[in-house]
Each structure stands twice: as C-alpha cells, then as structure tokens.
Amino acid sequence: SWTSDSFVETTVADLKKKIGNDKVVLGLSGGVDSSVAAVLLHKAIGQNLYCIFVDNGLLRKGEFEEVLESYKSMGLNVKGVDSKKRFYDALAGLSDPESKRKAIGKTFIDVFDHEAHLIEGVKWLGQGTIYPDVIESVSVKGPSATIKSHHNVGGLPDFMKLKVVEPLNTLFKDEVRLVGKTLGIDQKILGRHPFPGPGLAIRILGDITAEKVDILQKVDAIFINGLKSEGLYDQVWQAGAILLPVQSVGVMGDERTYEKVVALRAVTSLDGMTADWCHLPYDFLGKISNEIINKVKGVNRVVYDISSKPPATIEWE
C-alpha cells in the first residue's frame, strides 16, 4: 500500500535518474503543491533546482517576505522577484474577472520567461501539478495556479518548450500534505488554506489599485489572524475577505461616513468542488467586525457571506 516514505524514496530516485545533471526551473507560489514539489526536486538534484518566487503584489499581507524566508531556510535555491508594479500596470483599468485573470497570467508568464532565460542551459520545467489538476486542466477557473492553466494566452513562451517534470501528478491533496510532512516541511506551509493564483485581484470586485490591495490586505490579515488565534483556522477549508465595489453610510462620533463594505467568506469543503459556508461563532464574527472597522481606515461595514457552493462559488469572481 501507498506510504509517503516509500513515495519519497522512489520518487527521489526516479527524479535523479531522469534529470541527471540537468537544471530545472520551478515557479513557487507559496502554496502547498509547489512547495512540496520543490523540496522533492531539491532532495533529488540540490542546487540544480532553480526556484522563482514572484511577488505579484496580490498576495496576503507580509506573505511574500515570510514565505521567501522559509524557502531559504529550507535550503532551496530560490530567487524572489518583485514584480508588483508590472502586475498593477497590467491590471490598471480592468474590471472584468476573466480579463483580470488573463492579464495576471500573461504578466506572470512574461516575468517567468525572463527569469528562466537567466538560467544558463536550463532543460526542465518543474511543476507542482497534482492529480485533480490533471483531471481538471481544461477548466479556466481551475483549482490551482499551475502555469499550465494559463497556456491559452498567446504564443508559447520559450520556457514552455522545456521538458516538464511533475513529481506530484499522481497524488491527491491529502497525500501531498503527507509527503510534505515526511520531507519535514513546516506545518505553516503545509496547513495553509488554498489561495487562488490571481490572488487578491479576484477578491477586489472591480478594478485594482495599490490602495485597494492595501485595504484588503489589512482586513484579510485581521480575519485570518483571528481564525488562527481562536483555533478556528484548521477547521476551515478556505477563508478570506472581499472588497466590494459599493460604499455605505455609517456614523462615527457625530459624523456620517460614506465608506467601503467588505465581505468575509469562510467555507468548509473536501476538494473545493462543493463547499458549505462555515458556521463561525457569532461572538468571533462580531469581534472581527469591530476590529476591522476600528483599525482599517476606509471601511465602515462588514458582512458575512452565508452562501454555499453550488450555486455560489467560493470566490466572488
């Protein structure tokens, strides 16, 4: 029967044989899959694995720095690339969800292609594709941020002419987590909620500005840190905040305000295909709502999403 120990042992041996002394380039996302794929490849080929971690300016607050640091402490040969401005420029004025996804996908490919060219003689593209991605790779709004899901945005960039190595493509998510544990990867990375490739761009309804990202990051951080400190984080499949494109009237002291509304979303699920809204304790929601309104300038109202999937989706865009 399948065990993560034997999987690691045979996969590392196979990767060594397959790749030899070649170089591999791999895009890290901060998520579980790309992290586990990277550590497996690193175990097999060491410094010949070149990891690229792109800051698209659409990650959670402080996440890029934090995750880059943990990748480095795992010994990975990783390069952090600050491309925030490129992504914001590409997104400027776009409101349609699919246009935003396309702009992000294209920008990522441009950045990644440029970085891959800097690695002399690289022969392989490593990917954290898992088995459900293989089944679902036709869906535009797929479950993972693999480079593949953006295949359809134009001519094939050079790095896609590389040979592909996908060490996790027979595994389900829970198996990937077990493999990650066997490899000694930090629970902080392994236990992380799924996070969409386009990141906060699809949780800011309407167009994206650096200011809106900043507001949403602050709101999201209060919610996620609250879930963690109340011991609720691991009971939730996925959680986050959505910045709505509406303003509502509020009152502060004896003045009326007219400011932004945010929605909080938390769901339970097994695979993201269906999901139930999470019955978080009222006291907790009340506390988080107060903290958000008191601390985040520009937000005066918090609502909680009580829709399940189907018919609602997990993301609002």
Going by the annotation, the residues of the binding site for ATP are 29-35
Say if residues 61 and 86 touch (Cβ distance below 8 Å): no
Among 48, 144, 289, 300, the residue binding ligand XMP under the rule CB under 6 A is: 144
- Smallest gap, in angstroms, from Cβ of residue 144 to ligand XMP? 5
Specify the residue, 3 or 139, whose C-beta has the smaller distance to ligand XMP. 139
Task: Write b or e for each residue in 157-174: b if 16 or more Cβ atoms lie within 10 A of its Cβ, otherwise e.
Answer: bebbebeebbbbbebebe
Among 113, 153, 190, 194, the residue binding ligand XMP under the rule CB under 6 A is: 194
Among 68, 94, 145, 221, the residue binding ligand XMP under the rule CB under 6 A is: 145
Per CB under 6 A, the segment of 2-10, 66-74, 213-221, 307-315 that binds ligand XMP is 307-315
Per CB under 6 A, the segment of 37-45, 110-118, 221-229, 309-317 that binds ligand XMP is 309-317
Specify the residue, 276 or 291, whose C-beta has the smaller distance to ligand XMP. 276
* Contact flag: residue 199 with ligand XMP (CB under 6 A): no
Q: In what order do the strands lie in the sheet with 124-126?
A: 78-82, 49-55, 24-28, 124-126, 163-165
**Residues within the interface to ligand XMP (CB under 6 A):** 101, 141, 143-145, 194, 196-198, 238, 272, 309, 313-315
